[in-house]
Amino acid sequence: MISEFLSYGFVQRGLAAGSLVAVICALLGVFLVLKRLSLIGDGLSHVCLTGVALGLLTQTNPLYMSVPVVLLSSFGILQLMEKIKVYGDAAIGIVSAAGLAIGILLTALAGGFNADLFGFLFGSILTVGRTEVFACVILLGALLLFFLYFYRDLLAASFDESFARTRGVAVKRLNTVLILFTSLAIVLALKVVGIFLVSALIILPPVTSLLLAKTFKQVLIISCILALVSVWSGVYLSFLFNIPSGATIILINILLLVLAYGYNKIRSAHAR
Amino acid sequence: MPSIIQARGVRFKYTQTWVLQGITFRVRPGDYVGVIGPNGGGKTTLLKLILGLEQGEGVIKLFGQSLSTFKDWHKIGYLAQKSPVAQTRFPISVEEVVLMGLCYDGKHKEATAENLRAVHQALAQTRTEHLAKQIFSNLSIGQQQRVLLARALVSKPQLLILDEPSTALDADSREMFFTLLGELNTKHGVTILLITHDTGEVGKYISKFMYVDRELVFFGDKEEFCHSQKVAEKLGTFAQHTIDHLHNHGHCPLGCTCHHTHAEEQHD
């Protein structure tokens, strides 16, 4: 059964893209969660609706249209926070609402909801193409290089941003690059889990990992493993039972979180 | 010898409202300055301006260098009011946290034997060496604060900037904390700028007071503070309360030499 499942080209591409996106989101998510910026994933994913609708309206690849829209929105959030001193969650809420509203209007102009749009809203991992897999490889490579080079800066800034700044760590620049990577990751994750669930892929594996890990490096590794397990098992179960893959992946992540919490409780009880 | 901190005409506003105005002072080497004032008076904002965490107007110089070009951050130890991860799960060891204090100009230090020796020395100073291998976020708030003081001390700073560091500490830890700061100031010549509401306990070590309430109401020796008419006039009941507290019926907890006079005045 599994070998038959894996023999399909669309399954291979879906799993490859899903795995790469899962690792990208899991790594970024650790820093976003610790810096209390994880909701930026939620906000920017909603903004993607504008990009997707623009793509459908102009008959261009919705992912190509989403990239500039999400990048502009991420800088919009940063500007609201830094220049107008709007609180982070409020800034994300404003941009997210604007993105959704414009997206809905554009969708109506594009002829309303159709199968393509549903694919982006709820994910359709098995329709991923070679270009998207290639883009995921490039993004993961760039992200790993960034993390390897700036690991200690990121660790210091995530732990204590003010102190890191007094030590000459370029915290603002790091945050900007982190949000830039997040924007691109969200666009690539659209087909894997869909607009409505993409932020869960950023938040859930890191949060579960933080319950289990004893060192910071373990957090990163466990977060990636959990994300991969959820994508692989989610895609397989969705194929087996003919259910939506995006929702299955997220529900497996929720299950893993509950299991980790339970394990943590038992471990704490034994330690006493 | 240049001033450790020099501020001239410093002011800062949030959106349209001025939070601080007309701040001019010099902190000299070896000063132990207690920064006091009512809540919302701009004390923490002033420290953030000095540390470059907020951008204001006016001139701030650290060790004679303009803040915008200042690079010698290892000369400064900073401890905030609250632990950055007070209620968060953050799996990083105490050793790793203190090692971060050796980073300066954006360059991090590896956990070499020499650097770890410095880390353990700093932990020993704050009586937290036994916690070195523990996860920082598993410690009590008081223990976390002592570890963060070790992080501030590990680079052997010439200036310590502390924002109400004793709030989360129990009585014993607080005494240890202030005794250590006192020793660093008197024996090692470390200049200290400390925001505190705890004027009673820390008063005996402080040499100068800075009273901030959206402007610099007072900056000078603690004896002058006790007699400052300006402080009393400007701040009314709060000042009266503070001065009454400081003199504590004739025994000045600031350790100023005027306490007999005050005691006599009160008895008369």
Would you state the structure tokens that stand for residue B30, as one six-digit string? 């070896």
- pLDDT the model gives residue B107: 79
Evaluate the CA torsion angle B143, B145, B148, B149 in order and state its sign.
Answer: negative
Cβ distance of A167 and B135 shorter than 8 Å: no
Q: What single DSSP character describes residue B64?
A: T
Asked if B209 and B219 count as a contact pair (C-beta separation under 8 A), the reply is yes
Whether residue A50 has pLDDT greater than 60? yes
- pLDDT the model gives residue A196: 76
Whether residue A255 has pLDDT greater than 90? yes
Overall residue count recorded for chain B in this entry: 268
- pLDDT the model gives residue A115: 63
- pLDDT the model gives residue A118: 76
Number of CB pairs, chain A paired with chain B, less than 8 A apart: 79
Shortest Cα distance, chain B CAs vs residue A83, angstroms: 9
The residue of chain A with its CA nearest to that of B75 is A167
Mutation for B interface: A32, A85, A159, most B CBs within 10 A: A159
Judge whether B84 is closer than 8 Å to chain A, CB to CB. Answer: yes
Mean pLDDT for all residues in chain A: 88
Contacts of B85 in chain A (CB under 8 A): 159-160
Cβ distance of B80 and A163 shorter than 8 Å: yes
Whether residue A149 has pLDDT greater than 50? yes
Per-residue pLDDT tens over the stretch B215-266: 898 898 877 877 777 777 766 655 556 666 656 545 554 555 555 444 444 4
Residue B149's H or E segment, with its range, is helix B141-153
**CA A59 – CA A55 distance, rounded (Å):** 6
Contacts of A156 in chain B (CB under 8 A): 100, 103, 108
**CA distances to A59, B33, B41, B210 from B229, in Å:** 77, 20, 20, 15
**CA B9 – CA B215 distance, rounded (Å):** 10
Shortest Cα distance, chain A CAs vs residue B109, angstroms: 9
Query: Of B203, B216, B258, whose CA–CA distance to B33 is shortest?
Result: B203
* Residue numbers of B between 235 and 264 with CB closer than 8 Å to A: none
Whether residue A94 has pLDDT greater than 80? yes
Mutation for B interface: A163, A172, A209, A215, most B CBs within 10 A: A163
Per-domain boundaries in chain B: 83-157
Whether residue A160 has pLDDT greater than 50? yes
The residue of chain A with its CA nearest to that of B88 is A34
pLDDT, average across residues A251-262? 96
- pLDDT the model gives residue A84: 79
**CA A19 – CA B110 distance, rounded (Å):** 33
Cβ distance of B84 and A159 shorter than 8 Å: yes
Domains of chain A, start order:
8-197 (1.10.3470.10)
Whether residue A138 has pLDDT greater than 90? yes
| pTM as predicted | 0.83
The CA radius of gyration of chain B, in Å to the nearest whole number, is 19
The residue of chain A with its CA nearest to that of B71 is A168
Q: What is the ipTM of this complex?
A: 0.79
- pLDDT the model gives residue B261: 47
**CA A17 – CA A128 distance, rounded (Å):** 7
Shortest Cα distance, chain A CAs vs residue B100, angstroms: 7
Whether residue A258 has pLDDT greater than 70? yes
Cβ distance of A165 and B89 shorter than 8 Å: no
Contacts of B49 in chain A (CB under 8 A): none
Cβ distance of B106 and A155 shorter than 8 Å: no
Report residues of chain B scoring pLDDT below 70: 1, 85-87, 199, 201, 234-268
- pLDDT the model gives residue B245: 63
